[in-house]
Amino acid sequence: MERNYTIIIYKHKRKAMKIKKVCVVGIGVMGTGIVQICAQAGYATSVVGRSEESLERGLGKIKNDLTRLAKKGQMEQEEVDRIVDAITANATTSLEEGAEGADFVIEAVYEDLELKQGIFSELDRICPEHAILGSNTSTFPITALATVTKRPDKVIGTHFMNPPPVVKGMEIIKSLLTSEDTVSITKEFVKSLGKEPIEIKDSPGFVVSRMICLVMNEAVRMHEEDIASVADIDKIAKLCFNWPIGPFQLLDLIGIDIVAAVLNTMYNETGKERFKPALLMMQMVRAGWTGRKAEKGFYEYE
């Protein structure tokens, strides 16, 4: 049964506008999960991929993940089919087509500031005036995205954790230009997705990336110094800190290239040496050993 959420997102002359359509730009590791939870929450959800191949790959992952839930008895197969069909019908490689009429947009593309700014500039042109533009960036200041639009008050950081369908907490990043109305609306929206929003200030890496990337970077440096093996450092994190996975397993899951890019951004923004990526990490990126997606990282995958 389709669920309908009513979220008031903007008031003008006492007439309320509601979040009905959500657009997710990007269908990679994070985008697929965000699309899934928005569709499961009952929103009309469109997704924009960079190519037909990336759409096919992402839609296949969403279908597989939902099918697993059905096999565990957590969803009905009929519901899975309905959600997958709805997402597939609204999947496109055209930003114009996907974002048209959207009330809330979540950008979830690769961590490249110039790419993201180009998308936000286009979204500002395409989307209705009332639409809120969110970014899943884990690195870049939201102000840098807001200033390329004519609606900087409606630009906000919506940083979901990996994997989005599982992790409950998420960062809501308010820039100097983001309005309180936008923050309030965004918090209510993400709560409707089953998430717990935590508001933080705009800063390179925010809180999550700044903390966890330092841990992963230090783990690589300790391995470089031959203090302990990859497996033993992960074992220490799991047995001594009660973490579900170790830092090297997390690096492979996120993507070593992505973590290196995040660290480089924080290093360039702050000038602090502790954010400089470990040499081994950069060598692995050059070799194409970026983790699970490449079937080889600090561990090997089939």
- Please check whether residues 194 and 242 belong to one and the same domain: no
194 and 232 belong to one structural domain: no
Residue 215 lies in a domain: yes
Query: What does the pLDDT read at residue 29?
Result: 86
DSSP bridge partners of 22: 45, 104
On whether residue 119 sits in a domain, the answer given is yes
- Indicate whether 41 belongs to any domain: yes
Residue 47 shares a structural domain with residue 189: yes
> Are residues 187 and 257 both part of a single domain?
no
Q: Which domain holds residue 236?
A: 208-294
pLDDT at 121: 98
Q: What phi and psi values does residue 134 have, to the nearest 5 degrees?
A: -105, 155
User: 215 near 249, Cβ under 8 Å?
Assistant: no
Question: Quick check: is 39 in a domain?
Answer: yes
Q: What is the CATH number of the domain that holds 262?
A: 1.10.1040.10
Domain assignment present for 3? no
Backbone φ and ψ of 97, nearest 5°: -70, -45
Q: Judge if 68 and 112 occupy the same domain.
A: yes
Q: Can you give the pLDDT at residue 7? A: 53
Give the CA angle between residues 66, 70, 76 to the nearest 5°: 105
Of 201, 226, 248, the position where a domain reaches its end is: 201
Q: What is the Cα–Cα distance from 98 to 131, expressed in whole angstroms?
A: 13
181 and 227 both lie in a single domain: no
Q: How much is the pLDDT for 1?
A: 44
Q: What is the pLDDT of residue 222?
A: 98
Has this prediction a pTM greater than 0.95?
no
Give the model confidence (pLDDT) of 21-49 as tens digits. Answer: 999 999 998 999 999 999 999 999 999 99
Give residue 295's pLDDT. 95
Note whether 212 and 170 are same-domain residues: no
* Position 56 in a domain: yes
Q: Check residue 204 and give its pLDDT.
A: 87
* Residue where a domain terminates, one of 201, 219, 246: 201
Specify if 299 maps to a domain.
Answer: no
Residues 212 and 177 in one domain: no
On whether residue 300 sits in a domain, the answer given is: no
Q: Which of 171, 201, 231 corresponds to the end of one domain?
A: 201
Q: For residues 81 and 180, state if they share a domain.
A: yes
Per-block mean pLDDT, blocks of 10 residues, the chain (302 long): 49 59 95 96 97 96 94 93 95 98 97 95 98 95 97 98 93 97 97 97 92 97 98 98 96 94 92 96 98 96 88
Hey, how many other C-beta atoms are within 10 angstroms of the C-beta on 222?
A: 18
Q: Are residues 173 and 24 in the same domain?
A: yes
The domain tally of the chain equals 2
Are 169 and 277 contained in the same domain? Answer: no
